[in-house]
Structure 1
């Protein structure tokens, strides 16, 4: 069908949290607090890893990359959402929506791949400790970090271009940001090809990495069980616990959001799930790695101690 058969849509309007109108000020305070905590926590982690030489290891290198990616990911969504909660425009241009979707998907997919790389790092450290420093040298780590960004944003380009080649007949996005499903719902016809493409990309970015991580942890647990002392097993597994918590939460929320079929009148449910993986998940990373990680807490004490001495 030709574009001339449709009315040209140049702007969209977010539904935002219209169903929670009487609670919007409360939502603003809650989301702003979580956003500030997210930025503060991730910035502290990145700078702590940069400053403290005890944290100059592959595991913490990838953690700093993940924290940086999570920070930009939250910046793509939350500031505009906060502005709408205090009465600023709910409208967004076609180009603005495409830009938001591109960066949203780019950082989201990158985070999925990064978690898989971090799983591989833990596998090498535990299953092949004598060659760990050789296998996971700085060049390998840098290459892996660059590769996940390239892969993430390449897939984002494909998905974004395919989405915005659709003909749109509706303008109300039943969401608080430009996500794949809400934008495709505005199409004049059911985008079957786009649905298939979205499924393929979800399989590549969610299912494949999660299966890879599952296999690595089967091998990791097998290696841990061979350790003679209970204290040694506990200490070794502790190095994986934070990563495992983040993985379960991250892939779990994303899978619910993109794999479970939608039913009618699910706007509130979709928004709740979206709030989980756009607001809470970026905050989870610094919280888990700071509260559960002894090395990070020790590094923070050293840095604070040095600052107080000066």
Structure 2
């Protein structure tokens, strides 16, 4: 039998936080002289607006199935936070377009994937519809595991500071990363609430993990090819990504793989990833959050 997940939602209050980012001075390569590192991280801006809108739709579909009021409140807070995340990353996509890099062809493909392939299936009976919702929640839970991993990396990535990465972009990554760490348990707890079986978790990771890697690799290739300043001169490689990660500008691929394997341990729970205290500490000092509060 799988171990019961820790009771974490007794004192967890998730609130959407208003933020204000000024992208007017953001350079196309916001990590100086590092176009591959820049665009590898920029894939987040491609994936997250459509992906997080899909998360929201899945969780809204799941709301009628929740019988735990505390968990319901967490899910509502999660929905609010994800909505603001999608808007913040959409602003970056809009800024890229003004710099001559058009992200729309790739984003249209993502929209088709999330809405048509991973979206709600029409003409399902009540039992089939419930099963479809739970399956999609399991996909979200697996992806949220990796977003929490990335968020923890962003909060602990001095390499970006050493490389003099754009301060506004670093704040976006750390503000978003902090909220991912803060709500890292919600999708997992919802999945377990709806289906405590271990196989559901494995199936969610088996689908979402490889899909996320595939989309990320395609996204890097797309951005490097679409970058008007590079003219297709740079081709990404796993070796270069490894070397960049060792300079602290990208997450370590080995640690990323180990993170995915941790998710498959029977006694695993997302509270084992990251620090809520560190996340809340950053959220209290984020320049974007303070700028919004000052308005």
TM-score bracket relative to the smaller structure: 0.3 to 0.5
Q: Considering fraction of residues, name the structure with more helix.
A: 1
Radius of gyration: which is bigger? 1
TM-score between the two structures when normalised by the length of structure 2 = 0.34
TM-score between the two structures when normalised by the length of structure 1 = 0.32
